[in-house]
A and B are shown apart, each in its own frame.
Chain A
């Protein structure tokens, strides 16, 4: 897992979080409350879901030939919107004691790209990605 993690606070604006994602070239960040506990995950997908009209899935098959005017307005609104309003609150987590296979199982069944690693008081101590799990599994397999 990666121990040096970047995170955002609940009160940070969605724009700040997006800038951080782009600067770090990552797709998701843990969101931390004032006590340092995990409050949610904020990802690029959350921004896309906000920016595109919510009814697109319900309308069915079509092709956007132009960008709707609402997208510019919604991007401008990112400065005013807090991370807490867009983040996913239900996050699957693991602990440092979780086995590799259990982390892999959670990633597959919960469709998670990365899992925050938390201690007993829900403070984030790291983050584990699919690549981390595969790398560790591969090393373990070669060692046996």
Chain B
């Protein structure tokens, strides 16, 4: 622990000194140094990440590197409020039994075969994460996978890995799939429609390829499961294992969630119709819906806010965004953007490649929100160099989401799923057990995105 702390201090100070050496001023160097400490803090001391964020922002304020008004401006309150609204809605859907109902649907798959099981968990994982975020989705998918694997007495680890890989891929498809999606949408001015037209098809193409890869990778496991299914017969107990009462509460909850998704999907058209600022409806629909939920369920309202909203994570995001904003505010990212552009020879394809691969490799080690928050001001600074930013935003989105598949600590969904697996079945997946399939899927899907962004003109504008 002490070694890691010394390393953190050494690297953070070293980054600051190096920044001064290459010509950045003292405020820029301090902003870079503090941000490096926060990034390394999340890497080495995950449970203490909020402490690092609090300390970092305090030092930035006390050293006049940034002022309070700009801390508030850069903390992306719009994104935070969007996430609060969605977390309240997810809490309602959980209460109503929606997620248990999805689990029940998977358990009831008729004439189950191992191949059908792999396809179902991959598709449902991906689609559920496009609607409810990767971390929410993976909990229910793991529950379904464990019940089915318990019934047929097969090792659940490969199927959990498959569900996680699909979840991370699905999380790039919409603004709801991952916090980095809404963050990029807010900063880039991208709409839900943009995601549906551009990100969704690309994510689904990658999902399809991933399904083929995992079917080949786990062919022996699939064969073994088929043998067990033949021995044990149909999934009769699983079919009636759980039930969810389809009462008024579930119907109203589904209606609220459905209406929220409907208005989110139409937000751009409505903003044009009502002459509102871009993304106003996108950001406010979850708040409006959760306001209605709290009126309807007024006895549970406090629980939704206090228990279902992850304040620890959201506070960390806010301060991290503010620290990344300090990089922009001091002009540090402008210098970085100029150097990066010069390194890429002012070539857009080269910059797309750098952003995509650096964010993919980076998010295989770091939390993708940290990485994307760091990249956003750099990409914004490219605008001053008259570069087309659109493909760079997509590169950042896909790199940040798909990179999470490479290692077992690459995304929160991976950590949550493996935590449940270890607790439930005492199975600990080793780094290399994951890395083989994770790296293969990570590289193949990132190459697909790279080809699309560099060679398909559709992704240029």
Contacts and interface: CB of A to CB of B under 8 A. Distances in A.
Interface of A: 53-55, 58-66, 68-70, 73
A58 B151 CA distance: 21
18 contacts: A53-B424, A54-B424, A55-B143, A58-B94, A60-B93, A60-B94, A60-B95, A60-B100, A61-B94, A61-B244, A62-B97, A63-B245, A66-B237, A66-B241, A68-B150, A68-B241, A70-B424, A73-B150
A97 to B, nearest CB: 37
A133 B68 CA distance: 54
A73 B149 CA distance: 13
A62 B140 contact: no
A68 B238 CA distance: 8
A62 B242 contact: yes
A62 B96 CA distance: 9
Interface string B392-418: 000000000000000000000000000
Contact of A59 (B94, B423, B424): B94
Contacts of A61: 94-97, 100, 244-245
Contacts, number: 70
Contact of A63 (B103, B139, B150, B244): B244
B146 A70 contact: yes
Nearest to B244: A62
Contact of B242 (A58, A64, A69): A64
Interface string B138-170: 011011001100110000000000000000000
Given A54-B420, A59-B100, A64 B140 contact: no
Contacts of A59: 94, 99-100, 103, 139-140, 143
A81 B395 CA distance: 48
A69 B151 contact: yes
Interface string B10-22: 0000000000000
A141 B140 CA distance: 53
B241 A64 contact: yes
B413 to A, nearest CB: 13
